[in-house]
Structures are given as C-alpha cells and as structure tokens.
Structure 1
Amino acid sequence: MPDRPEIVCICGSIRFADEMRAANRDLTFAGVIVVAPGVFPAENHEADESITDEQKAALGALHLRKIDLADRVLVVNPGGYIGESTSREIAYAQATGKPISFTHPS
C-alpha cells in the first residue's frame, strides 16, 4: 500500500462543472486526493464576467501546476468534447509523462 493516496487532477471544460463535481465526489469517496479547477460558474451556469483575462491566464497556469502535483489526469469530456484549454492541459500532461484517462473516450 502506498504511503499516500493517489492524486488525480480533473481537467475539462467549465461548462461541465456538474460532471466535474460528480467525478470529484466519486474519486474522493474512492479514497483519491482530487485537484480540480477552483473557479466554477455561478449556479445558473453563466460565465462569470468578473473574471479578467489576466485572471483566466493565471488560473490556467495554476491548473498546470495542479497537473504537476497529480499522479494522473482525468479529463471530463461528455460527448467527447475537448476545448482549447483542455487540449493544452492534455498536451502538458502528455509532455510531463502523466497518465491520462477520459470519461468519454472518442
């Protein structure tokens, strides 16, 4: 048994916030440490207009550091959707040798 639980970084479009929350819950109940996006849209799922482009860039860079901490990456991609930011995160994870799995393989 390892000294610590597995660490999984959840990646995916913020439009799938509900699905990411469900994956986070399921992984946590399975004993996994989860790192995931820290900012989600309001309950009505509209974009938070108070987030500046500078903040978006900082959040993107922070998420790459979360990938660095993880043992593996789980891409939440209902319907197979992978957007630009998620594609960049997948490429980063691949470049750093992180195993990647998808909730909906294409």
Structure 2
Amino acid sequence: MKTYTICGSMRFEKEMKDIAYQLETQKGFNIFQCTYTPENHIPSKKELNEIEKSHYKKIDLSDGIYIVNIDYYIGESVKKEIEYAKEHNKEILYHLK
C-alpha cells in the first residue's frame, strides 16, 4: 500500500476530502490529508507555520504527493510542494477535474 500526501488549494477543501476517501476506498492508497482550519477561524502566522511544517513532514513520510488541481489551478504553495517532492524523489500524481 502506497502512502500519498494530498496537496491542493484550500479552496478545494471539500473536494480534497472526497478525493482522499475515493483514493483510500477505491485505489487502496493510504492518504495523509491537509490540516483543515476550523470554520470561522483565521489561523495565526504561528499556526500557519506549524501547519506547513506538519505538511512537509507528511510529504517526507509519503511515497509521493497527490495533486488536486481542479480546473488546472495550482497555487504558489502547491508549486513549492511539487518542487520539494521532486527534490526528495517522491512520486507525483495529478487529479484533474
């Protein structure tokens, strides 16, 4: 069973949750998901820094990353995650919708 960290814009939070479910139940992948911010909460810079560190640790522990790029949108953070994954020889899969 391969492990992937799901990466994508938080504007696609709902879709990423649904995709993670499908990948685990239909493809047999183990998925590390994003940290989702509680509703109506604006994270502090410190919280964002901790979330980012946690996300990169998930990538380190994964076989690869699974990019959710709905309508071909990839933001700056995801571009950095792709570069990080490449630098660490991680597999990169794309979900197009």
**Shared fold, TM over 0.5:** yes
For residues 37 and 68 of structure 2, the distance between their equivalents in structure 1, rounded to whole angstroms, comes to 14
Asked whether the 8 Å contact 2:4–2:66 carries over to 1, the reply is yes
Aligned residues: 96
Structure 2 equivalent of residue 71 of structure 1: 63
Q: Deviations over 1:59-99 (max 9, x none)?
A: 11110110011111110010111111111111100100111
Which of 72, 75, 79 does residue 83 from structure 1 map onto?
Answer: 75
Q: Any stretches of 5+ residues in structure 1 without a counterpart?
A: none
Matching residue's letter, 2:91: P
Partner SS, residue 11 of structure 1: strand
Q: Deviations over 1:9-57 (max 9, x none)?
A: 1001111011101111011103221101122452xxx6x32x1011101
Give 3-state SS (helix, strand or coil) of 1:103's partner: strand
Aligned to 2:53: 61
Distance, in Å, in 2 between the alignment partners of 1:76 and 1:21 is: 11
Q: 5+ unaligned residues in a row in structure 2: which ranges?
A: none
| Residue of structure 1 equivalent to 2:93 | 101
More helix by share: 2
| C-alpha distance in structure 2 between counterparts of 1:23 and 1:74, whole Å | 10
* 1:10 partnered with 2:6: yes
Alignment check: 8 A CA contact 1:9 1:73 kept: yes
- Which residue in 1 is equivalent to 2:35? 38
Could you say which structure has the higher strand fraction?
2
